[in-house]
Amino acid sequence: MATFALILDTIREAMARKVFWAFFFASSAILLFFMFIMHVDVVNGIVASMTIFQAQAHTRGELSAEKLVQGAQGGLSVFLYTIGMGLAIFASAGLISAVFEPGRVELVLSKPVGRTQVLLGRYVGNLLIVAANLAYLTLGVWIIFGVKVGVWRPHLLLASVLTLFMFSVMLAFILFISVLWESAAVSIIATFALIVICLVLGAKDGIEKLLSNEFSRDVVDALYYILPKVPDAGKMMTHVITGQPIENWMPVWSSALFGIVALGSGLWIFQKRNF
């Protein structure tokens, strides 16, 4: 019950800080674009005409409605996985680190709630805020294209689950860094640094060919398997959007393991610290 109250408190604080509303209005703008600005005429499954900003869009050859929806879903998925996740990281770091503001952490810990509940309430509350906005946007786009084009591809909904999963891993790392440094700025810098490192390690096969000794290659290999698989998860999302089968789920379970260790370490350090 106490954890639930802390989750609600996190959501209320996000709304008070206009974080929730910023995501909501941005998602609404995208939905309005697809709903009112883009007009598509489909005849026998083929796009007969497409109008954007009152200008006729020209297509080469016959563009099927299925391909149109797949392209739109792919573009939106990439946007959510990159720009959307980046914005969510910025917003969430402030909400997590707010617990450690001078005077506030002592007040929170003076109440009859466990330290684990305090951080889990923040973590789950942040995750629910992002999940609600992600569901609002992806479900809205899915329904709009289903009604206007007649194509009900569930692939965007499945890809959004993968995006939310990777965000939950990054949020666990944000929590871990926040416990160590008690700073939103440090959490943001560290998280984006982690993402850059993960992107570089995504090309580990090419990097290992450039290294001169076996020890260096082993270090790169170890880091690749320890850290989250950001680029690999992105490739999996592309497979989901295009309907291709996913043969290797290693990026998911290894990233999940990293998130569990980061979250558990943050909770354990918070339990041991004196305030």
Res. 22 pLDDT band, cuts 50 70 90: confident
44 falls within a domain:
no
Is the residue at 254 inside a domain? yes
pLDDT per residue over 173-228, tens digit each?
Answer: 999 999 999 888 999 999 999 999 999 998 888 888 888 788 888 899 999 999 99
pLDDT of residue 253: 96
For residues 222 and 224, what is the distance between their CA atoms, to the nearest angstrom?
5
| 3-state SS, one letter per residue, for the chain | CHHHHHHHHHHHHHHHCCHHHHHHHHHHHHHHHHHHHEEEEEECCEEEEEEECCEECCCCCCCEHHHHHHHHHHHHHHHHHHHHHHHHHHHHHHHHHHHHCCCHHHHHHCCCCCHHHHHHHHHHHHHHHHHHHHHHHHHHHHHHHHHHHCCCCCHHHHHHHHHHHHHHHHHHHHHHHHHHHCCHHHHHHHHHHHHHHHHHHCCHHHHHHHCCCHHHHHHHHHHHHHCCCHHHHHHHHHHHHHCCCCCCCHHHHHHHHHHHHHHHHHHHHHHHCCC
**Structural domain total, the chain:** 1
* Residue 240 within any structural domain of the chain: yes
With 0-12 / 13-18 / 19 or more C-beta atoms within 10 angstroms meaning exposed / middle / buried, residue 214 is exposed
For residue 38, is pLDDT > 90? no
Q: Is residue 162 part of a domain?
A: yes
In a domain, 86, yes or no: yes
Among the listed ranges 39-43, 60-64, 171-175, 218-222, which one has the minimum average pLDDT value?
Answer: 60-64
Model's pTM, two decimal places?
0.91
Task: State yes or no: pLDDT of 240 exceeds 60.
Answer: yes
Residue 54 lies in a domain: no
**Residue 50 placed within a domain:** no
Whether 56 maps to a domain, the answer reads no
Q: Could you give the CA distance from residue 102 to residue 91 in angstroms, rounded to a whole number?
A: 20
Domain containing 81 equals 2-27+65-272
